[in-house]
Amino acid sequence: TKKPRIVILGAGYAGILTARRLQKLLRHDEAEIVLVNKHSYHYLTTWLHKAAAGTVEDERITIAIKDVIDSRRIRFIKDTVTEVETTTQRVMLCHGEPLAYDYLVLALGFERADFGIPGIKEHALAICSMNSARQIRLTVEARFAEFAKQKGRDGQEKLTFVVGGAGFTGIEFAAELAERIPALCRQHGIDRQRVQVINVEGAPALLGGFAPALAEYAKASLENMGVQFRLSTRIQSVDRDGVTLLTEAGEERITPATVIWTGGVQGNRVVCNEDFAAVRGRIAAEKDLRAPGHDNVFVLGDCSAVIDKRTGRPFPPTAQLAILQSAVCAENLATLVRGGSDLKEFVPFIKGAVASLGSHDAVGEVFGIELRGRLAMMMKAIIDIRYMAMLGNLRLLLGKGKLAAYVAP
Is the CB of 11 or the CB of 235 nearer to ligand FAD?
Answer: 11
Query: Rg (Cα) of the chain, in Å, rounded?
Result: 22
Residues 115-174 that bind ligand NAD (CB under 6 A): 117, 164-170, 172
Residues 264-283 that bind ligand NAD (CB under 6 A): 264-265
Q: Which residue type sits at 36?
A: V
Q: Which of the following is catalytic: 172, 176, 286, 365?
A: 172
* Torsion angles phi and psi, residue 79, rounded to 5: -165, 165
| Part of the chain binding ligand NAD (CB under 6 A), chosen from 27-35, 187-195, 293-301, 310-318 | 310-318
Residues that bind ligand FAD (CB under 6 A): 10-15, 36-39, 45-46, 48-49, 80-81, 107-110, 127, 169, 172, 268, 270, 301-302, 317-320, 322
Q: Which residue type sits at 286?
A: E
In the complex, what is the shortest distance from the CB of residue 81 to ligand FAD, in angstroms, rounded to a whole number?
4
Strand partners, 132: none
Rounded to an integer, what distance in angstroms lies between the CA atom of residue 263 and that of residue 100? 37
| Part of the chain binding ligand NAD (CB under 6 A), chosen from 76-84, 148-156, 315-323, 342-350 | 315-323
Helices (H), 151-257: 168-188, 212-224
Q: Taking CB within 5 to 8 Å according to partner kind, which of ligand FAD, ligand NAD, none is near residue 263?
A: ligand NAD
| Part of the chain binding ligand NAD (CB under 6 A), chosen from 1-9, 177-185, 251-259, 311-319 | 311-319
* 3-state secondary structure at position 147: helix
Can you state the percent helix, strand and coil of the chain, rounding each to 5? 35, 25, 35
Is the CB of 111 or the CB of 254 nearer to ligand FAD?
Answer: 111
In the complex, what is the shortest distance from the CB of residue 45 to ligand FAD, in angstroms, rounded to a whole number?
3
Q: Which residue type sits at 171?
A: I
Burial class (CB within 10 angstroms; exposed 0-12, middle 13-18, buried 19+) of 186: exposed
Is the CB of 119 or the CB of 170 nearer to ligand NAD?
Answer: 170
Q: Taking CB within 5 to 8 Å according to partner kind, which of ligand NAD, ligand FAD, none is near residue 99?
A: none
Q: Is the peptide bond before 409 cis (omega within 30 degrees of 0)?
A: no
Q: Taking CB within 5 to 8 Å according to partner kind, which of ligand NAD, ligand FAD, none is near residue 176?
A: none
Residues 15-54 that bind ligand NAD (CB under 6 A): none
Task: Classify strands 110-112 and 32-37 as parallel, antiparallel or unpaired.
Answer: unpaired
Q: Taking CB within 5 to 8 Å according to partner kind, which of ligand NAD, ligand FAD, none is near residue 80?
A: ligand FAD
Strand partners, 305: 284
Residues 225-244 that bind ligand NAD (CB under 6 A): 234-235
Residues 324-383 that bind ligand NAD (CB under 6 A): 353-355
**C-alpha distances in angstroms, 155 versus 21, 184, 269, 270?**
59, 18, 45, 48
**What is the tally of helices (H) and strands (E) in the chain?**
10, 27
Task: Say how many Å lie between the first and final Cα of the chain, rounded.
Answer: 55
Is the CB of 23 or the CB of 262 nearer to ligand NAD?
Answer: 262
Rounded to an integer, what distance in angstroms lies between the CA atom of residue 200 and that of residue 184? 23
Specify whether the backbone of 82 is left (phi greater than 0), alpha (psi in -120 to 50) or beta. Answer: alpha
Q: Taking CB within 5 to 8 Å according to partner kind, which of ligand FAD, ligand NAD, none is near residue 235?
A: ligand NAD
Strand partners, 205: none
Is the CB of 32 or the CB of 365 nearer to ligand NAD?
Answer: 365
- Among this protein's residues, is 85 annotated catalytic? no
Q: Taking CB within 5 to 8 Å according to partner kind, which of ligand NAD, ligand FAD, none is near residue 268?
A: ligand FAD
Q: Taking CB within 5 to 8 Å according to partner kind, which of ligand FAD, ligand NAD, none is near residue 322?
A: ligand FAD
Contact 112, 264 (CB under 8 A): yes
Catalytic residues: 172
Applying CB under 6 A, the residues found at the interface with ligand NAD are 117, 164-170, 172, 200-203, 208, 234-235, 262-265, 316-318, 353-355
